[in-house]
């Protein structure tokens, strides 16, 4: 495969980006391995405090002298001010109390339900650390981020779930756009319209975005092998971003029970759910998702539900209880290989895509 326009922009050898994982699923080891293999390794830093971001970038720079990306979530309006009343909080805790008790963890209190790290401070810390690439999901980059990134020579990548989001991102000044189809695992990044109005499949979204913008387009969602890479490039993408396939790799930060669920017959089914974080995300359904399905419209929004679920998710992962873990995965999760190294997975992607492109 040739690096293409994105490779020329970022200085990478392969038109392959490792999707950035949030919630502790990213690892320095995985990002470094992908970058060393010629792709663009990524690290999802949205849960990190500003003072932790400089150390993260330093560790990534120590691991590789090749380009890598650090990803942040753009907060939704009013999200940081969300705070449930005592009555509402009690209702939400009562709904989850059986799970706290079964896993032997205390229920969160009002003091635990706090907003995540300050986004503006995260941006300041990231610009100060100056990674080669900054990527964003769930919104437009602040003007000052675009201007300062350009001054520092940092490439900026935005993420779109619709054509309208893609054109808005290009107008904002990003250097490349990830066209993230509804096939993709993890949290949906819709920001101009509700998620339910922004569920466009990857192979419908990519050619429309490629026609609508002039910057390089990266196809994401439902791509797990060389066939998906080849199809995305044929539809006009300059590169691909792969999440679930890399999540299954040995170097990722996913728990053992999460990795074990990928590449199985159960992974043929995925659902969109708000139950784990309060934001819509795609994952493999388990007993928690099925038992709580009636409450999808009643759980509080992010970050409140996220804080309420943290003790359950962490305990379930530590205790090897996949029935209570958020098993984020895209719609090609059943194609994921069983625990490969990132280097071998990357090589297989390239070899299969090269063979298909030549034929």
Task: Tell which residue, 205, 183, 189, 171, has the closest CA to residue 135.
Answer: 189
Is residue 282 very low, low, confident or very high in pLDDT (cuts 50, 70, 90)?
very high
**Of all residues in the chain, what percent carry a pLDDT higher than 70?**
100
Which residue ranges form the domains of the chain, and what is each CATH number?
Answer: 4-358 (3.20.20.70)
Q: Which pLDDT belongs to residue 116? A: 80
Is residue 339 very low, low, confident or very high in pLDDT (cuts 50, 70, 90)?
confident
Cβ of 211: how many Cβ atoms within 10 Å? 10
Q: Which pLDDT belongs to residue 78? A: 76
Cβ of 152: how many Cβ atoms within 10 Å? 12
Cβ of 104: how many Cβ atoms within 10 Å? 9
Chain centroid to Cα 184, Å, comes to 9
Q: Which pLDDT belongs to residue 178? A: 98
Higher pLDDT, 78 or 94: 94
Q: Which pLDDT belongs to residue 207? A: 98
Is residue 145 predicted with pLDDT exceeding 90? yes
CA distance 344 to 245: 12
Is residue 305 predicted with pLDDT exceeding 80? yes
CA distance 220 to 53: 25
Is residue 24 very low, low, confident or very high in pLDDT (cuts 50, 70, 90)?
confident
The tokens for 331 are 């719609």
The radius of gyration of the chain from alpha carbons, rounded to an integer in Å, stands at 19
- CA geometry: angle 19, 22, 26, nearest 5 deg: 65
Give the CA dihedral 82, 25, 27, 135, nearest 10 degrees.
-50
Q: Which pLDDT belongs to residue 113? A: 84
Average pLDDT (10-23) is: 95
Average pLDDT (78-82) is: 74
Can you give the three-state secondary structure of 279-333, one letter per residue?
A: CCEEECCCHHHHHCHHHCCCCCCCCHHHHHHHHHHHHHHHCCCHHHCCCECCCCH
Is residue 154 predicted with pLDDT exceeding 80? yes
Is residue 175 predicted with pLDDT exceeding 90? yes
Q: Which pLDDT belongs to residue 76? A: 86
Average pLDDT (59-66) is: 98
Is residue 191 predicted with pLDDT exceeding 90? yes
Q: Which pLDDT belongs to residue 23? A: 80
Q: What is the DSSP string of 118-149?
A: -HHHHHHHHHHH--SEEEEESSPPPHHHHHHH
| Mean per-residue pLDDT over the chain, rounded | 96
Q: Which pLDDT belongs to residue 40? A: 98
Is residue 162 very low, low, confident or very high in pLDDT (cuts 50, 70, 90)?
very high
190 CB contacts (<8 Å, ≥6 apart)?
138, 161, 162, 165, 197, 198
Is residue 58 predicted with pLDDT exceeding 90? yes
- Beta-bridged to residue 218, according to DSSP, are 178, 239
Q: Which pLDDT belongs to residue 244? A: 98
Q: Which pLDDT belongs to residue 82? A: 74
Q: Which pLDDT belongs to residue 290? A: 97
Task: Tell which residue, 161, 128, 145, has the closest CA to residue 281.
Answer: 161
CA distance 103 to 88: 23
Q: Which pLDDT belongs to residue 84? A: 85
CA distance 54 to 234: 39
CA distance 329 to 25: 12
Instruction: Determine the 3-state secondary structure of 278 from DSSP.
Output: coil
Q: For 39, how many CA atoms within 13 A lie in the half-sphere containing its CB?
A: 29
Task: Tell which residue, 113, 122, 124, 248, has the closest CA to residue 185.
Answer: 248
Is residue 80 predicted with pLDDT exceeding 80? no
Average pLDDT (268-288) is: 97
Q: Which pLDDT belongs to residue 1? A: 84
């Amino acid at each position: 495969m040739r690096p293409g326009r994105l490779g020329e922009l970022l200085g990478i050898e392969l038109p392959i980006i490792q999707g950035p994982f949030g919630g502790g699923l990213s690892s320095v080891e995985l990002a470094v391995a992908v970058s060393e293999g010629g792709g663009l390794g990524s690290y999802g830093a949205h849960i990190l405090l500003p003072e932790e971001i400089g150390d993260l970038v330093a560790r990534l720079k120590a691991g590789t002298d090749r380009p890598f990306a650090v990803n942040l979530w753009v907060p939704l309006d009013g999200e940081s001010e969300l705070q449930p009343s005592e009555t509402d909080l009690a209702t939400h805790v009562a709904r989850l109390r059986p799970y706290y008790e079964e896993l032997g963890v205390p229920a969160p209190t009002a003091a635990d339900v706090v907003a995540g790290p300050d986004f503006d401070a995260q941006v300041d810390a990231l610009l100060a650390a100056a990674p080669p690439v900054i990527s964003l999901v769930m919104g437009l980059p602040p003007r000052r981020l675009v201007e300062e990134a350009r001054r520092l020579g940092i490439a900026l990548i935005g993420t779109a779930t619709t054509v309208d989001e893609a054109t808005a991102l290009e107008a904002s000044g990003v250097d490349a756009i990830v066209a993230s189809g509804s096939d993709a695992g993890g949290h949906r990044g819709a920001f101009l319209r509700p998620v339910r109005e922004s569920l466009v499949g990857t192979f419908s979204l990519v050619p429309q975005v490629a026609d609508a913008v002039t910057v390089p387009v990266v196809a994401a969602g439902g791509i797990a092998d060389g066939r998906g890479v080849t199809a995305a490039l044929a539809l006009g993408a300059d590169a691909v971003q792969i999440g679930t396939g890399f999540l299954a790799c040995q170097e990722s930060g996913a728990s053992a029970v999460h990795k074990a669920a990928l590449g199985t017959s159960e992974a043929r089914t995925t659902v969109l759910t708000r139950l784990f974080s309060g934001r819509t995300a795609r994952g493999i359904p388990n007993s928690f998702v099925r038992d709580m399905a009636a409450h999808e419209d009643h759980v509080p929004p992010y970050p409140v539900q996220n804080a309420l679920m943290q003790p359950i998710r962490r305990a379930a992962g530590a205790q090897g209880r996949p029935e209570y873990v958020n098993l984020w995965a895209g719609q090609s999760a059943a194609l994921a290989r069983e625990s490969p190294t990132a280097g071998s997975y990357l090589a297989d992607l390239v070899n299969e895509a090269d063979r298909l492109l030549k034929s």
